[in-house]
Amino acid sequence: MLHVNDITYRIAGRTLLDHATVALPDGAKAGFVGRNGTGKTTLFRIILGELQAETGSIGLPKNARIGQVAQEAPGTEQSLMSFVLAADLERAALLDEAETATDPHRIAEIHLRLSDIDAHAAEARAGSILSGLGFDADAQQRPCSAFSGGWRMRVALAAVLFSQPDLLLLDEPTNYLDLEGTLWLQNYIARYPHTVLIISHDRDLLNSSVDMIVHLDQAKLTPYRGGYDNFERQRRERQALQLKLKKKQEDERRHMQAFVDRFRSKATKARQAQSRLKALARMEPIAAIVEDQATHFDFPNPQKEANPPILQMWEASVGYEPGKPILRDLNLRIDPDDRIALLGQNGNGKSTFAKLLVDKLSVEAGRLKRFHKLEIAYFAQHQLDELRPAESPYWHVRQLMPDATEAQVRARTARIGLGKDKMDTPAKDLSGGEKARLLLGLATFNGPHLLILDEPTNHLDIDARQALAQALMIFEGAVILISHDRHLIEACADRLWLVEGGTVASYDGDMDDYRRLVLERSGAASSRGQKNGGKRKDNDREAQAERRRQAAARREELAPMRKKLKTMESDLEKLRAHVVRLDQRLADPALFADTPDKGAALAKERADTVKKINDTEEAWLALADELEQAKSEDA
């Protein structure tokens, strides 16, 4: 399906792709992995034709459709459903043409093609995708302008999934999804009927949804069969074999060089020494394994031990307007060593609950009691914009250590995970992952008793996510985790709380149970949406849609008759043209004089052809009458 052939690409003197080659078979589901900044998105842009490679080419089948989420849905008054339906350009064009076409044959072709592409089930399919991404039936009919940028990114994702391109390119699609949307997307990608290449650092997605991994490392592309865990195992085995072969080769080179050095000057051994010199020159050195520096997180432990519980609620309610609580009946307790993950769709109140914990919101009713010297650190993705763009990590840390020496400040900056090459870089020039690392370091600077993380992994690669999980496991304070990364939740969380139905309560199942619950709800919502579609629409519109469906079914029944009529018309044209040619030959006076038998044969052939024309015309008239009668019955 996709062939990346000998691609080389450089930017600012840095080689991102060096004669890189890989092939994806038709229908493959491939995860595309590699450290941030290695060139994964660049390769996407080359495949799309937005960038031109120095060498090589991209091979795709003729007329193959490529789909990607280029940007968020526009903030217009167009409904979510209409925006997604419009993504199927062929269906939209056919429906528009059907409204204006007058040629009966073209009209038949249009509706036959609409039937072939299952166009009349399109709204149900679009509704199912939108439902899986978190939009209920009412939201699907609301305008795009009613939603924030993150939600409109989901709409754009729904549109490209609905269009079902032959090659689907997805670049970190889970970054703007909650856990529920991520679980649904994993299931959808695994069942997608065409080829998928997805850049992702979500280990669970790469284990459950893809059947191969393409690894970009040292400007080369290497394919591996299976999911991410299988890729890691195969890569370790390949590295071990490479190290073994390299050692064996070095031993062999030393042995050959020693022979050359010893016998080069001896006449009896000179030819053998020369042969070994040539062998040494031809010996291709096995490349050494180069590993990038691993990401490191270090969260200071609480400076003072807290007595349990560090926070407790009794019948608490919280909201933004008096008398209109978002969450109510909160009876919860957090202890110093708790590891809690919050589950629940976006919009159910997870952020509201986090704001209550950090004292940005107060309880309206009930009680909330905190440990009297409770230190809370809060990290959320939107806080990346709060970094001072022109200041380096060193100066951000200096603000918190005004009396420290330069060496002490630099040592603390390095502890955050930003080394010498980054600690003096302006914040605006740091990558998303480096900004996240800096913000996490600043938030946890004083050793909090409670660490609240709201989607901390969005800009982190897989190795960085693993490092984050390890740091959280050894951190001695309590952790509240909101994340779409199931692997991180399973690695770190001991308890699950479900934010749903206007409250927060303990969830007794595990993540497998919750995944099944999410997929069952998504399927049920989609079924209800299809079943009750008429209740959500204007009666006239539904009646019109029903008439269209009935007309389409009837057109499908009559399509063979129309096709037969068209074939007859074509046959008649050919027969009449043949008669004209026969008449021209029979008009030659010499024909019967020179070859009377041939003239008689041509005359007979003409008579037979005229009879065929008459018979075909009668059949055409009978079938046309039958078709007209069927049309009048429908009318």
Which tens digits make up the pLDDT trace of 403-420? Answer: 888 898 888 888 887 888
* % of the chain residues with pLDDT over 90: 13
Lowest-confidence region among 58-72, 276-290, 463-477: 276-290
- pTM here is 0.67
Lowest-confidence region among 310-314, 427-431, 565-569: 565-569
pLDDT of residue 461: 81
Mean pLDDT of 118-129: 83
Strand order in the sheet with 376-380: 376-380, 450-454, 478-482, 339-343, 495-500, 503-507
**Interatomic CA distance for residues 355 and 353, integer angstroms:** 5
If one compares 549 and 220, the residue with the highest pLDDT of the two is 220
Lowest-confidence region among 240-244, 299-303, 375-379: 240-244
pLDDT of residue 333: 92
Contact of 480 with 453, CB cutoff 8 Å: yes
pLDDT of residue 536: 42
For the chain, the C-alpha Rg in angstroms (whole number) is 35
pLDDT of residue 343: 92
pLDDT of residue 470: 84
Top mean pLDDT of 115-119, 221-225, 267-271 is at 221-225
pLDDT tier at 632, thresholds 50, 70, 90: low
pLDDT of residue 540: 44
Q: What angle do CA 193, 197, 199 make, to 5 degrees?
A: 135
The string of DSSP codes covering 552-609 is HHHHHHHHHHHHHHHHHHHHHHHHHHHHHHHHHHHT-THHHHH-HHHHHHHHHHHHHH
Residues in the chain, total: 635
**Interatomic CA distance for residues 380 and 180, integer angstroms:** 19
Lowest-confidence region among 110-114, 272-276, 619-623: 272-276
Residue 223 has pLDDT above 60, yes or no: yes
Mean pLDDT of 610-620: 86
Top mean pLDDT of 148-152, 209-213, 239-243, 281-285 is at 209-213
pLDDT in tens, 76-94: 888 888 888 888 887 888 8
pLDDT tier at 290, thresholds 50, 70, 90: very low
Residue 155 has pLDDT above 50, yes or no: yes
Residue 195: CA atoms inside 13 Å, Cβ hemisphere, count? 17
Mean pLDDT of 568-590: 81
SS3 452: strand
Residue 27 has pLDDT above 60, yes or no: yes
E strand map for 79-200: 167-171, 195-199
pLDDT tier at 479, thresholds 50, 70, 90: very high
**Interatomic CA distance for residues 584 and 566, integer angstroms:** 28
Mean pLDDT of 144-163: 86
* % of the chain residues with pLDDT over 70: 85
Residue 538 has pLDDT above 60, yes or no: no
Describe the chain by its helix, strand, coil percentages, rounded to 5: 55, 20, 30
Question: Sign (positive/negative) of CA torsion 187, 190, 193, 196?
Answer: positive
pLDDT of residue 432: 78
**Interatomic CA distance for residues 432 and 381, integer angstroms:** 10
What is the average pLDDT score of the chain? 82
Residue 480 has pLDDT above 70, yes or no: yes
Lowest-confidence region among 40-49, 57-66, 554-563, 585-594: 554-563
pLDDT of residue 266: 60
Residue 545 has pLDDT above 50, yes or no: no
Residue 614 has pLDDT above 50, yes or no: yes
Who's near 289: CB < 8 A, 6+ residues apart? 239, 242, 243
